[in-house]
Amino acid sequence: MQKIGVFVCWCGSNIAATVDVKAVANAMRSEPGVVFSTDYQYMCSENGQNLIKDAIRDYKLDGIVVCSCSPRMHEATFRKTAMAAGLNPYMVEIANIREQCSWIHKDMPEGTEKAMVLARAAIAKVKKNAPLTAGTSPVTKRALVIGGGIAGIQTALDVADAGYEVDIVEKSPTIGGRMAQLDKTFPTLDCAACILTPKMVEANQHEKINLITYSELENVSGFVGNFTARIRKKARHVDEKKCTGCGVCTEKCPSRKGLNEFNMGLNTRGAIYIPFAQAIPNLAVIDTSNCIHFKTGKCGICEKNCSAGAIKFDQEDEIIERKYGAIVVATGFKPIDASYFDEYAYTQSKDVVTSLEFERLMNAAGPSKGVLVRPSDGEHPHDITFIQCVGSRCSHDATKGKEYCSKICCMYTAKHAMLVREKYPDVNVHVFYIDVRTPGKNFDEFYRRAVEQYDVDYIKGMVGKVTVEGKKLHVQGSSLLSNDQLHIYSDMVVLATAIEPDPTARSIGTMLTASMDTNDFFTEAHPKLRPVESPTAGIFLSGVCQGPKDIPETVAQAGAAASKVIGLLSKNELVGNPCVAHANELLCNGCSQCERVCPYGAITYVEKEVRGPEFRGVKRVAQVNEAVCQGCGACTVTCPSTAMDLKGFSNNQIIAEVDAICR
Amino acid sequence: MTYSYYPGCTLKTKAKDLDRYGRLSAEALGVTLEEIENWQCCGAVYPQASDEIATKLSAIRALDAAKGKGQKLLTLCSACHHVIKRVNHDMQTDDNLRLKANNYLKLDEPYLGEAEVVHYLEMLRDEVGFDNIKKAVKNPLKGVKIAAYYGCLLLRPSGVMAFDNPECPTIIEDFIKAIGATPVIYSQRNECCGGYISLEDKPQAQKRVDAIVKSAMDAGAEMIITACPLCMYNLDANATEHRLPVKYFTELLYQALGIEEEKEGA
Amino acid sequence: MQRELIERLNALIGEGVGKRVLGWKRGEFFYDTEPAILAADQLDELVYDSFCGPNLSKYLIQEMPKLGEGEKIIALIKPCDSYSFNQLCTEHRINKDKVYVIGVGCKGKIDVDKIRARGITGITGIDVDGDALTVHTLYGDEQVNRKEVLLNKCLSCKGKEHRVFDEQIGESEETSTGDDRFDMVKKLEAMSAEERFAFWRGELSKCIRCNACRNVCPACSCVKCVFDNPNTGVQNKAAADDFEENLFHIIRAFHVAGRCTDCGECSRVCPQGIPLHLLNRKFISDIDELYGEYQAGEEVGQRHPVINYTQGDCEPSIVHERGSNA
Amino acid sequence: MSNNITTEDILRISGVDTRKCMFCGKCSGTCPAFDEMEYHPHQFVYMVQWGMIDKLMESKSIYKCLTCFACLERCPRNVQPAKLIEAVRQAVIRQQGMNHMTENDIPGLLEDKLPQQAIVSAMRKYKK
Amino acid sequence: MPVNTEWKPKIVAFCCNWCSYAGADLAGSSRLAYPADVKIIRIPCSCRLNPLFILRAFQRGADGVILCGCHPGDCHYSTGNYYARRRMTLLFSMLNYLGIDSRRTRVEWVSAAEGAKFAATMNDFAKTITELGENVKLGDLRCKEN
């Protein structure tokens, strides 16, 4: 006969207020197999844990049930307690009588009765428990960072500074990301390039950092500590070792059709190009879709002009396969497509631009060399209207837009308005806003400066429609405070478009089995307590891929993610989850059904000599790689002979719970 | 292809010609329009109130008739199109209306929004194809600068109407190109002309019409075409300071296809 | 055909293709045939006639470990049995490399109970000539149309094609009546929940737990059945209200779902005449309807629908939405 | 005049959830009849929510709406102000003797070219 | 169906550890009440739910069984709930075929963030089961009619 101990926690009044804890403890005492049952105010406190330890020793308990809060809260605590008293930690079961009982039932008799049932189910289960020992797996001491924007760069630098190898995989030809496209940054107005480019250079020169640019992640397998990633390094058609980044080829290239991505397509570039002057790595790349050589087989002007002989038209994609202990997602964002909001005439006029386009129009390295001009005719604008919340804060059942606040638009719009007024005091600037949201250090002060010092015309209300009237843009909007409909004739309209996760995020999330929300932002393991970790072990989140953020927040989160990665990589081995699948070789039919449903490829089949009372000989049997198995149990249900079972959640354990509940 | 055809009240009374142009042009383009038997007026205004049932029944009857024939329901008037398409959407999505309307109508088999509602212009675009119309045109309207007037009912709400880009539509401009004329883009083409309030508040209607006609004129238009008899009337009758000829699109199609001459010649 | 078959088998054994043959032999009565493993000197016991209904595929499982390196067993496989054969290959229970498959022709097998049901008693033998069936009885001969006394499973014949064979002997004929094999499933589905419950309660109450269905089923080939395993939690000997007894057939049907080839053996062998195939066919019809047409055993290596998915699969609520009549 | 019409009545007739509104004013920014209206589309939302139904029912604004669906199309929160205006109008004309326009008013307005639709739609909009 | 005033439904809710069990915890910490008749069994993933467990529950006197898992596409194990969805669809259909009311079985996808949905689902399911009354059928569907 087993000796089970039951420990009923009051959780102060959290449980005791609606569950008669003494009655539960008393009732459990008469359950078969229970040799000790008691209650205590806070079982998780040191005294409470000592009570458990003493009982385990005194009554020689071989299994315990703690009736307390959710196992997600304190299962680990009580397992450690049991272990300290010499009991296998997996001989502990938790009856969740707080979240699933006392907190949701107001009636004491009802709560008490349910608590007893839950306790009985846990007792029934623990009787079927078996001591389990966790396996261990080694940790590959290298991290992969997906995305080379400020988030990825910062994480990589921090991890590398701690002494670990880091690879950054970036899909575009240069690192730098969105921040590299920005002109000035709020609320300090320092230039983005001035603070970003030194970090880009540092990442490039760091001996522990390996930049894999113009590359895409193709596949990820494995698990925490032991990921294997396959990366496709796309052909640049330029020899990286030979190219000096002199840029002669980019000037000589006769094709001028490619839209300049760095300038948001506001101007064009050659088919061979370097994304921007400070690109890292400073290497040319051929855009084959616009290259005359690739289209006609002729041209080759770049090849003739390259004194380094770096042009390699026949270069092919390269596959890099490498092992990593941790993966950081830093995939960033893009502005939504403003053409969905055509009431603002985005597709109808070149003078209606998004804020990121405006950023390029203001930038000294931009298409107009930093002189603000109207894109349609290159003339100086005299009146500019900014429209906030374009595509943000939309209802889920609206025809378009995102439900969330994009968070950064209020501040960058204030920045734009201020910069325009600073540089061109003759320009009238209007900002239509719903709310101005400035929760950040020095943020509201910044916005007030735009209003008070720079005379920016902030109008509470939304623009209903923008129409093209000759050379002017007719902005028709409401001013809620004056209860008027305004008609403003502007030269330019700037749309503060919502931001959304980079389009590659969804497929990367699927590869990593990292969960995402309905907006394709990555979900954190806990919204407050584990904000930089994905629920999938070994996957960490950095920057806007997790939700809208400004630069300081992104950098802070990037550092936090790095510290989590460092914590993981500093371990030599990881203790695994012992609740894994296991095949009873005597019962196994060798039918391979389980192998087909395993998402981790943890099951293999072998011909093996098997000895048992009814069978002796060689047979085909399933084998589970315990380091790879994550314990989902999909295999167990496919097995018709119940040869495959899951430790910790065995058929017998679950059936015992069912029986106890339906008793 | 044969469509169940819902002409609507105006095209059967005051504007018979527009109906005739539409039918003959369709025939010339290889599309047969079978008028729905005993159709009733759709009411011309979509009943927005959620408790309106009776006012939606005539549309449901027409939809059920098209369903019974296994045909798409084709409309020529924008108002009819708007009402019938939205009622059909309600029948697909609103359980309460489904239940009550079917209880009331006692059809052989309940109507659950199975029919597809197609506007004449959509038929031209998706079934015939503007390229084919271009080929069939005998009298291209060369050099005529035409402003397409969309108004409200074809485009909005776009979630239900799904007719074209609600803020920057192209279908009528494409039509204008197909018949050999030159489309004129102007800012007011999808702004309301005030047709619905032309009886209630003539000054407001006049104000709206003037804004639209002026916008078209400023853009160089010589003519406005519409797909709605009410808009057509309103843009003409309530024009005060600015005035342009207003035509129904089927009339131009009929002319361009050269149907009259063909008949006379035959 | 039987003679031709025995001659060919002798020749094959002579050529060293295999040493033993899986076929049928006569049972207690002339209309009883049973699976048999026959060595060269026992081949005169081999029977192949209108009563060879039993599906032999399953019996190859136990032969596999007995075969030495490179050794083969010769198996007689009817067209319908070939589906089970393939399914078992998919599940690695049979190794095709160790079997020489003779696809034997089949024109439908006879259900002696259907002859009896015509009031014919004292049957001593039969002669078949095309569709003309002469039944010899103690009281003289009776003429019966062969097509009218075929096994139920032959009425939904999967066709005359062998899905696997090394060589074929004899002609086949498709005996399907052309009726939808799901007719009865549909009829049940159209009933009210109460009627369905009454139907199944009536049928399943007849069960005597003789395990004949399980023993004959080619999909029920576990090395140890859950119902015989005291550690599974399924087996539970608590007499009156015992899990196993209550739900034996449902559990069994679920265990073979996706793998059942609809061979019909379960219903054929049930001494109580319970239409057990209607449980399997329900799963098959649901699978066909919800996840696309699927025939287990059509090819080796198929991934059956119960261990597969698509992201756009219907939700389980479809069961209720389709109308439960409850 | 007390009409005994409540916020709940208007919400029920319209099927609108006014709580979804974030008061951005886009509806009023886009409304072509803005200048003619005493209360503008966003005010309908606000006033219905806060029970100021009588004021709306007494206002000429309910007859100034063009039913052009611009507010409904462009509303980022899918509040559908046009439905609220319609509901208030319905609440008025459904009352005894409150038809805003009847067949008797028509002959005076009738013109030669006036399409059938104009009459049908006016009757539907302004008469019980 | 005779109304038994003493009778309280027995409802077993199988919840996957990652989404729905966490969702149930959130319902608890948000103090969102649902009937005490609902008892939760924690399983690692919805795909761990063997149809045997459901049959066992019914046979032991459960009146309703519900499975809650991560939303399709969000499975912690990436594909588990897709398999569960098929298995449960087929099982429910079979039970319905045998005359067991399909409303007694349900699958609902509840994420860790959907505490409110969890409580609402359980309230609705418990209400449905209470209206359906005691489930005696599966226990009666035995081989021998006593």
Nearest Cα residue to D23 out of C319, A460, A634, C77: A460
pLDDT band at C169; cut points 50, 70, 90: very high
d(CA C276, CA C267): 5
d(CA C252, CA C219): 10
What percentage of chain A has pLDDT greater than the value 90? 88
Whether residue E138 is predicted with pLDDT greater than 70 in this model: the reply is no
Mutate to test the interface with C, among E56, E93, E110 (most CBs of C within 10 A): E93
Domain C-terminal end among A84, A106, A128: A128
With contact defined as beta carbons under 8 Å apart, do A324 and A227 qualify? Answer: yes
d(CA B111, CA A28): 60
Cα atoms found within 13 Å of the Cα of residue C311, Cβ hemisphere only: 6
Q: Is the CB of C92 less than 8 angstroms away from the CB of A592?
A: yes
As given in the structure block, the two tokens for residue A591 are 């039918």
If asked whether residues A544 and A556 sit together in one domain, one would say yes
Q: List the single range of A447-451, B161-165, C121-125 with lowest mean pLDDT.
A: C121-125
Instruction: Write out the CATH class of domain D7-95.
Output: mainly alpha
Whether residue C178 is predicted with pLDDT greater than 70 in this model: the reply is yes
Residue A439 has phi, psi (to 5 degrees) of -85, 95
Is it the case that chain C and chain D have 3 or more CB pairs lying under 8 Å apart? no
Per-residue pLDDT, B14? 78
Tell me how far CA of residue A353 lies from CA of A260, A384, A411, A466, A479, in angstroms: 16, 11, 17, 12, 22
Q: What angle, rounded to 10 degrees, do the helices at A46-58 and A71-84 form?
A: 50
If asked whether residues A99 and A88 sit together in one domain, one would say yes
d(CA B168, CA B155): 10
Per-residue pLDDT, C239? 38
CATH of span B2-120: 1.20.1050.140
Whether residue B15 is predicted with pLDDT greater than 90 in this model: the reply is no
What are the pLDDT digits (tens) for A225-245?
Answer: 999 999 999 999 999 999 999
With contact defined as beta carbons under 8 Å apart, do B44 and B115 qualify? Answer: no
A379 DSSP assignment: P
pLDDT band at D92; cut points 50, 70, 90: very high
- Greater pLDDT, A78 or A513: A78
CB atoms within 10 A of CB C227: 21
Domain limits, chain D: 7-95, 100-128
Nearest Cα residue to B169 out of B214, B221, B226: B226
Per-residue pLDDT, D108? 59
If asked whether residues A230 and A268 sit together in one domain, one would say no
Domain limits, chain C: 1-109+156-177, 112-149, 180-326
Q: Which helix (H) or strand (E) holds A443?
A: helix A443-452
Q: What is the mean pLDDT of chain E?
A: 87
d(CA C322, CA B223): 56
What are the pLDDT digits (tens) for B37-91?
Answer: 989 988 889 999 998 899 999 999 999 999 999 999 999 999 999 999 999 999 9
Tally of domains in chain A: 5
What are the pLDDT digits (tens) for A258-314?
Answer: 999 999 999 999 999 999 999 999 999 999 999 999 999 999 999 999 999 999 999
pLDDT band at B12; cut points 50, 70, 90: confident
Residue type for C236, please?
N
For residues D55-71, average pLDDT = 94
Nearest Cα residue to C157 out of C80, C86, C54: C80
Residue C265 has phi, psi (to 5 degrees) of -65, -35
As given in the structure block, the two tokens for residue B215 are 């916008």
Nearest Cα residue to A55 out of A33, A38, A32, A74: A38
Per-residue pLDDT, C236? 46
Taking a contact as any Cβ pair under 8 Å apart, which residues of chain D between 57 and 96 contact chain B? 63-64, 66-70, 72-73, 82-83, 86-87, 90
Whether residue C242 is predicted with pLDDT greater than 60 in this model: the reply is no
CATH classification of the domain holding A610:
3.30.70.20
Whether residue A51 is predicted with pLDDT greater than 50 in this model: the reply is yes
How far is residue D83 CA from its own chain's centroid? 7
For residues C160-187, average pLDDT = 90
- What does DSSP say about strands A383-390 and A428-433: parallel, antiparallel, or unpaired? parallel
Per-residue pLDDT, E142? 44
Per-residue pLDDT, D2? 52
Q: Which helix (H) or strand (E) holds A143?
A: strand A142-146
Domain limits, chain B: 2-120, 135-260
Asked whether residue A270 is domain-assigned, the answer is: yes
Residue E110 has phi, psi (to 5 degrees) of -130, 120
For residues C191-196, average pLDDT = 89
Nearest Cα residue to A93 out of A133, A117, A132, A125: A125
Closest chain A residue by Cα to residue C64: A619
d(CA A150, CA D38): 52
Whether residue A53 is predicted with pLDDT greater than 70 in this model: the reply is yes
For residue E6, what are the contacts with CB-CB under 8 A and spacing of at least 6?
none
Q: Is the CB of C232 less than 8 angstroms away from the CB of A651?
A: yes
If asked whether residues A368 and A506 sit together in one domain, one would say no
If asked whether residues A117 and A214 sit together in one domain, one would say no
d(CA D48, CA D52): 6
d(CA A189, CA A185): 5
> Does any CB of chain A come closer than 8 Å to the CB of residue E86?
no
For residues E82-105, average pLDDT = 92
Q: Is the CB of E86 less than 8 angstroms away from the CB of C313?
A: yes
As given in the structure block, the two tokens for residue A197 are 């480019």
Tell me how far CA of residue A126 lies from CA of A4, A80, A122, A541, D56, in angstroms: 8, 16, 6, 37, 68
d(CA A645, CA A593): 14
Domain C-terminal end among A128, A161, A179: A128
Whether residue B116 is predicted with pLDDT greater than 90 in this model: the reply is yes
The complex scores an ipTM of 0.66
As given in the structure block, the two tokens for residue C283 are 């799963």
Instruction: Write out the CATH class of domain B135-260.
Output: alpha beta
pLDDT band at B266; cut points 50, 70, 90: very low
Per-residue pLDDT, E146? 34
Of E52, E95, E146, the CB nearest to C234: E52
What are the pLDDT digits (tens) for A105-159?
Answer: 989 999 999 999 999 999 999 999 999 998 888 999 999 999 999 999 999 999 9
d(CA D47, CA B256): 53
Whether residue C140 is predicted with pLDDT greater than 90 in this model: the reply is no
Q: What is the mean pLDDT of chain A?
A: 94
pLDDT band at C324; cut points 50, 70, 90: very low
Whether residue A509 is predicted with pLDDT greater than 60 in this model: the reply is yes
Of C92, C233, C255, the CB nearest to A620: C92
Cis? peptide before A281, omega within 30° of 0: yes
CA angle (A588 as vertex; A587, A594 as ends), nearest 5: 135
Q: List the single range of A496-510, B216-230, E89-103 with lowest mean pLDDT.
A: E89-103
Whether residue A490 is predicted with pLDDT greater than 50 in this model: the reply is yes
pLDDT band at C325; cut points 50, 70, 90: very low
What are the pLDDT digits (tens) for D4-40?
Answer: 899 999 999 999 999 999 999 999 999 999 999 999 9
Whether residue C326 is predicted with pLDDT greater than 50 in this model: the reply is no
Q: List the single range of A513-522, B146-155, C5-14, C154-163 with lowest mean pLDDT.
A: A513-522
Cα atoms found within 13 Å of the Cα of residue B201, Cβ hemisphere only: 21
Its CATH architecture, for the domain E11-136, is 3-Layer(aba) Sandwich (3.40)
What are the pLDDT digits (tens) for A6-31?
Answer: 999 999 999 999 999 999 999 999 99
Q: Which stretches of A170-251 are assigned E, i.e. beta strand? A: 184-185, 190-191, 209-212, 215-221, 227-233
* C–E CB contacts, 8 A cutoff, strictly below: 142
Residue type for E104, please?
R
* Radius of gyration of the CA atoms of chain C, in A: 21
Of A342, A399, A474, the CB nearest to B168: A342
Report for B4-13, B205-214, C66-75: range of highest mean pLDDT: B205-214
- Greater pLDDT, D127 or A360: A360
Domain span including residue A299: 248-305
> Does any CB of chain D come closer than 8 Å to the CB of residue A461?
yes
Q: Is the CB of E85 less than 8 angstroms away from the CB of C316?
A: yes
What's the first-to-final CA gap in chain B, in angstroms? 25
CA trace torsion A591, A595, A596, A598 (10° rounding) = 150
